[in-house]
Amino acid sequence: MNKKTPIYFGPPLIALTETEKNTMQISGKLNRAAERYLEIMRRHGVPLTEPERLCLLKVCEAGYLASYEIVEMADDVRDGKFDIEGLDTGALIAKLEAASFADLVAVVEDLGY
């Protein structure tokens, strides 16, 4: 069991827990969401070559990506100018366009964003 840690409840956490009445219910809701999130991360993703990974690192280098930005990663690859040896941008775009939102989130998380 981890010690209690104060956290900031931004809009997503507020929306997630707004129906909960006490700290035990809030804690339970957050832990269930985290457990499910971790399982989604385990089950989803897109297999990437090293050049594809390097390309997406450049796409994501601005930092935090909002949900709409994650969905637009294929467009960012299409519109970008990447000088990465061995990169097949068409193949990467096809992978990203075929991926589910959960797959794309798992990719972004794996890249550290």
pLDDT digits (tens, 9 = 90+) for 66-104: 999 999 999 999 999 999 999 999 999 999 999 999 999
Neighbours of 30 (CB within 10 A): 16
In this structure, what token pair is assigned to residue 66? 């909002």
Of the chain, the percentage scoring pLDDT greater than 70 comes to 98
As a whole number, mean pLDDT of residues 41-47 equals: 97
How far is the CA of 70 from the CAs of 39, 47, 59, 96, 109, in angstroms? 19, 16, 10, 10, 11
Task: Kindly tell me if the per-residue pLDDT of 2 is higher than 80.
Answer: no
More confident residue, 42 or 7: 42
Alpha helices in the chain, H assignment, sequence order: 11-17, 23-43, 50-60, 67-71, 73-79, 89-98, 101-110
Q: What is the pLDDT of residue 4?
A: 80
